[in-house]
Structure formats: structure tokens, C-alpha cells
Amino acid sequence: MKRFQQALKRIMVITAIVMLSGTTLSLPSTTVQAKSLKHELYQTENDELKYSKEIIREVFKTLRREMKGPLRYDEAISLIEKMSKVEVMDRYLASYGKKVDAKEIPRIVNQIYSIDLERISELGAGNQTYPDEIIQGVKESLPKWLDEEDIPSLSKLEVLDLYLASYGKKIDGPEIRRVLNQIFGINLDGISSLEGSGVSLFSKDQWISQYDQDLFVVQTGLTDVDVWIYPTDYFTAQTDLEQLPEELQNQLEKLGYRYNEEVGALYYADPDGNSVPDQFKGQTLGTLIQFIQTNYQNLS
């Protein structure tokens, strides 16, 4: 009993010293930061944020690990909003902590890029044929009641699911984007670079990239066989030009575009009825972006 009383007395003395010295026991700073971010994030209205709260929360985790120091909420939000969509996607996946399920990929792409892969799949839009690599992977995962001849009748989401089932290892951001381009005809790396470029992209029956001060629109058909280009209403309001500038038209005509009166725009269609390759899309976008940077940098 005496020993117990002595031990209790020592505890009381130590407690008093701590209280008098102003010393407090605290949680690790990273834990406090995480709680503070979570609180401030959920106090913020959704329309004030560039990305969903889930995306921001997970990207913040990777930022905190990289910086190895304190990071305020406003600093974190500023850093995330300045990142390219590719960077946001890669950091989100880095925090994911497990193999990404094929059914999660459309949700992730929608939250970061606002692109609806499910709609593209339902429409059968995008690439009409798949590379041998995709076909082989799908074949390895086909259920017994299907064979290779059934692959063209599968939806793109089914193709993605079957291909990733055969992939085996954990798949990262760059590889997911490569596979999505092969299956859906959606180049997420290229789309990420369009932000702030002045060029809008409408494809697969939806806006793939669009900002208020874009100057020109590149539009493709459901299967990417044809492409047409025209000015935005913003460009017309700023310049009084209802058609593309003549110099730009000349540059695009060198790539094979011709003015089409039916659509009222410069138009190109693949002569063999195939989806326009990424190289041609890149040349088109590169021509537009270079023209904007040279002539209309102050508008975009």
C-alpha cells in the first residue's frame, strides 16, 4: 500500500510540473495536419473545388509525404489546382495502396478529367479495332462460352475488364492511360496538355476538354474517322471573325483539311474509313496551339 501511495505521489508531482511548465502532450504534426485538412476540405463547397474531395484528400497525402513538412490547407489546394491532370491522376493512384480494379477506372477518369468512359462504351464510340496486345490479353481472360470472334461484340468496358484481368501486376497511371487510349481512343496525356492551350476538344459525343477562353474547337465523329475545326463564340466575339483566320486555314490545308460547306468548318475524313491516328491528331492540335501562341496569346 505504501509503495502504491509513493508511486501515485510521483505521478501527481510529474503531472503538476508538466502543467506548470506549459508543456502539453500532442499528436504528431502529420496527424494534426490530416485532421485539419479533412475538416477544412469538408467545410468547402464542391463548386469551389477543381476536383472532387476524394481526389484532393488522396493527392494531399502524397504531397505531404513528398514535402516532409507542414503544408497548410490553402497551400495544398493551390498546389493541386496548378497540377496537370496527369499529375493529379498519378498522385491519386500512388495513394490508392492496392491494385486498381477495372471498374474503378471510369470513376477515377470522370472525377479528374470529367470524361464519361461509360457513355463512350455504351455508344461504341472510339477505336473500332484493337491492337494485337489488347486482343491477346482479352483472349486469355475470355469465359469458356466466348471465343476470339466474339471480342468485337464486347463493350469497351468489358474489353478493359478482361484485358486487366490478364495483366497480372499492379498497373500504374501511365500504363492505364496507354491502355485506355488503345481501347477507347482517348489520349489522356494529350488531353491534359490542352488546359490553357486555347483549344477545345469535342469527341465521342461529349466535351473532352473545354474552357471559357478557348479560341478554336476540334470536333471528331463517334468513331474518330473524321475531324472538323471551327472558331469558338468567344473567338468571334473578340475578333469579329466568324471563320478561322486565313493563315491558319492555309496551314491546316497542308495537313489535308478542306472547307466543308455542310458543316461550315475545315473538315478531314480518313480516306480508308479508319480512325484518325494519334499522330494526325497531334499535328492538328500542335498547329492550332502554335498559331494561338504566335497570334492570340493575349486572348487565351
Cell of 284: 492538328
Measured at the CA of 246, the angle between CA 277 and CA 294, to 5 degrees, comes to 75
Q: Is the pLDDT of residue 34 over 60?
A: no
pLDDT of amino acid 10: 52
Check whether 18 has a pLDDT greater than 60: no
Residues 260-285, mean pLDDT to the nearest whole number: 91
pTM of the predicted structure, to 2 decimals: 0.82
- What the block records as the C-alpha cell of 186 is 482517348
Rounded Cα gap, residues 286 and 292, in angstroms: 10
pLDDT of residue 7: 47
Q: Which amino acid is at 84?
A: S
Per-residue pLDDT at 28 exceeds 80: no
pLDDT higher than threshold 50 for residue 22? no
Helix/strand/coil for 235? helix
Predicted local confidence at residue 44, as pLDDT? 78
Whether the predicted pLDDT of 102 surpasses 50: yes
What is the pLDDT confidence band of residue 20, given thresholds at 50, 70 and 90? very low
pLDDT surpasses 80 at 14: no
Convert the pLDDT of each residue in 172-228 to its tens digit. 999 999 999 999 999 999 999 999 999 999 999 999 999 999 999 999 988 889 999
Alpha-carbon distance of 63 to 13, in angstroms, equals 42
Asked if pLDDT for residue 125 goes beyond 50, the answer is yes
Distance (Å, whole) CA 247 – CA 288: 11
At residue 251, the pLDDT reads: 97
Q: pLDDT per residue over 227-270, tens digit each?
A: 999 999 999 999 999 999 999 999 999 999 999 988 889 999 99
Query: Which grid coordinates belong to 299?
Result: 486572348
Give pLDDT, residue 48. 79
Using 50, 70 and 90 to split pLDDT, how confident is the model at 45? Answer: confident
Q: Distance between CA atoms of 147 and 139, rounded to whole angstroms?
A: 7
Phi, psi angle pair for 86, to nearest 5°: -60, -45
More confident of the two residues 292 and 15: 292
Q: What is the pLDDT of residues 63-95, one digit of tens each?
A: 888 887 777 888 889 999 999 999 999 999 988
Q: Are 120 and 153 in contact (CB under 8 A)?
A: no
